[in-house]
Amino acid sequence: MAAPRCPHCGMIAFLETQECSNCGSRIGFHHPSLSMVAAAPEGTLVDGTRWVRCVNWSWQCNWLVSVDDESGSCFACRLTRRRPESDDTIALEKLADTGVALRRLLVQLFELGLPVVPYWAREGGLAFDLLSSRSGEPVTIGHADGVITIDLAETLDAHREALRVRLGEPYRTMLGHFRHEVGHYYQQQLVVSEPLLGECRALFGDERASYADALQRHYVFGAPEDWADSFISEYATMHPWEDFAETFAHYLHITGTLATAATAGVVLDSDRVDGVIAHDVVPAPDYSQLGLDRALGDWRWLSMMFNRVNRSMGQRDLYPFTLTEPVVDKLAFVHRLVVAVGSQAS
């Protein structure tokens, strides 16, 4: 993903940074250029337009908004259709944490050239309901007609970990939820006609199968014993929609981490692990032209290295999944879909 730099000293900054860790300058994210710019209280001129801090700056948002915009909220914050009440300060703190993951998702979608059409611009456009199940209202994470609902309680480590263990999941993060649910959104938006629809059904199954029946069956009987032969996760076995969303999320996991490694200058030197890697592994920031085979080839070695690093810190594997041939075929479909849409956008 993008590695924006401080406009004052050139130091690489985290996407959510409001202050440069090197020179202490106030900086903000200018999403049209995917870059950091100065975030002075009076605003900053970018290409002749003044950009000011989002009204949610005090709630960790570091995006800027044009003074010509009708709202004081940045593009990312405006995508939030529903949020906790203003007097629910505990939930609002969790909203701030969740906003970091949401903005990271959006940056990756922009980089891939995927269309991000907001709900206020088009019926069925993208929207987020960010609510807390700890505020007295049941919240079910999911997607429906462009609206992605996220439970803010998932920012609580104990809550999220308890669910991860109870559901038998090797990986559960807030960013993972966003990537999965936006996979549902893009399947609905992009896989709507032949030949894509037929190809999708051949790989993932017929999405017209009863979702309610599939849900009940999954939670009663669980995944088939041989699920790992053809699916990226147990949850992917539940219904073709979930298989697509899980695969889409993993495509974002893989390409996003490879891009981050590339912009950080990570290279695996084959000479230093003689006999293990046949050639240097040099991850790329963009695999649209290089192809999925190259991406997965790089990912094989990079993910092994990241897993070793995590284990050296006593942590679980960064990427605890196996990519079998059927899963690779599904990832290839998602790759073709994303590349085709991205090329149209450019």
User: Distance between CA atoms of 150 and 275, rounded to whole angstroms?
Assistant: 46
Check pLDDT > 90 for residue 55. yes
User: Distance between CA atoms of 180 and 175, rounded to whole angstroms?
Assistant: 9
Structure tokens at 229: 């032969």
Residue 178 burial (CB count, 10 A) = 25
Is the C-alpha dihedral spanning 172, 175, 179, 184 positive or negative? Answer: positive
Per-residue pLDDT averaged across 254-281, rounded?
92
Confidence of residue 346 (pLDDT cuts 50, 70, 90): low
Residue 42 burial (CB count, 10 A) = 6
Tens digits of residue pLDDT in 299-323: 999 999 999 999 999 999 999 999 9
Confidence of residue 87 (pLDDT cuts 50, 70, 90): confident
Computed on alpha carbons and rounded to an integer, the radius of gyration of the chain in Å comes to 21
Among residues 95, 32, 94, 92, which one has the least CA distance to residue 64?
32
Confidence of residue 343 (pLDDT cuts 50, 70, 90): confident
Tens digits of residue pLDDT in 19-34: 999 999 999 999 999 9
CA 134 to chain centre: 24
Candidate from 158-162, 188-192, 226-230, 309-313 with smallest mean pLDDT: 158-162
Among residues 243, 246, 95, which one has the least CA distance to residue 172?
246
User: Distance between CA atoms of 330 and 298, rounded to whole angstroms?
Assistant: 18
Among residues 343, 200, 335, which one has the least CA distance to residue 255?
335
Enumerate the H helices of the chain as residue ranges.
75-78, 89-112, 157-166, 174-190, 196-204, 211-221, 240-263, 292-312, 325-345
User: Distance between CA atoms of 28 and 37, rounded to whole angstroms?
Assistant: 6
Check pLDDT > 70 for residue 345. no
DSSP state of 272: G
DSSP state of 69: S
- What is the DSSP pairing of strand 147-151 with strand 127-131? parallel
Task: Please state, for a pLDDT cut of 70, what percent of the chain lies above it.
Answer: 99
| pLDDT confidence of residue 342 | 79
Check pLDDT > 70 for residue 1. no
| pTM, entire model | 0.95
Summary mean pLDDT of the chain:
94
